[in-house]
Amino acid sequence: MAPRRPLCRIGGVLRELPAGDNLPSNAIFTGTGTLPALTLLLAASTTTFTVAPVVSGDVLAAGEPINVTPAADLPNGLNIAWARVVAANQVRIGLTTTIALTLSTMTFTVVAAR
């Protein structure tokens, strides 16, 4: 028995994906950013870092929509305000804090929805 093709909703009806069509997939990248020292209460800053693709040869393009997830818990009081791709394989993250923090590094996973 041949495997069933993925299901999708076409015109409100659940059907098999037509032959030759592709489902959107995610591209995964990882990188380590330096979290800046934020010495003032209610401070804001950014960090820019280079990411490497999980699949060799993949490139994260400027302007691609992304989701950014830290590999570990963020320090208490630190928040990711926004994230965007500023150049090929370069991600900038906006950070805000409600308490003073010292300089550190953190690894992030970046997922591009394609």
CA dihedral (80, 84, 87, 89) positive or negative: positive
Determine the length of the chain: 114
Q: Which two tokens stand for residue 3?
A: 């495997």
Q: Can you give the residue range of the structural domain that contains 59?
A: 24-112
7, part of any domain:
no
Question: Confidence class of residue 34 from pLDDT cuts 50, 70 and 90?
Answer: confident
2, part of any domain:
no
61, part of any domain:
yes
Task: Note the pLDDT tens digit of each residue in 56-111.
Answer: 888 999 999 999 999 999 888 888 999 999 999 999 999 888 887 787 888 999 99
30, part of any domain:
yes
Task: Note the pLDDT tens digit of each residue in 10-24.
Answer: 777 777 766 766 666
Domain count, the chain: 1
37, part of any domain:
yes
At residue 104, the pLDDT reads 82
89, part of any domain:
yes
70, part of any domain:
yes
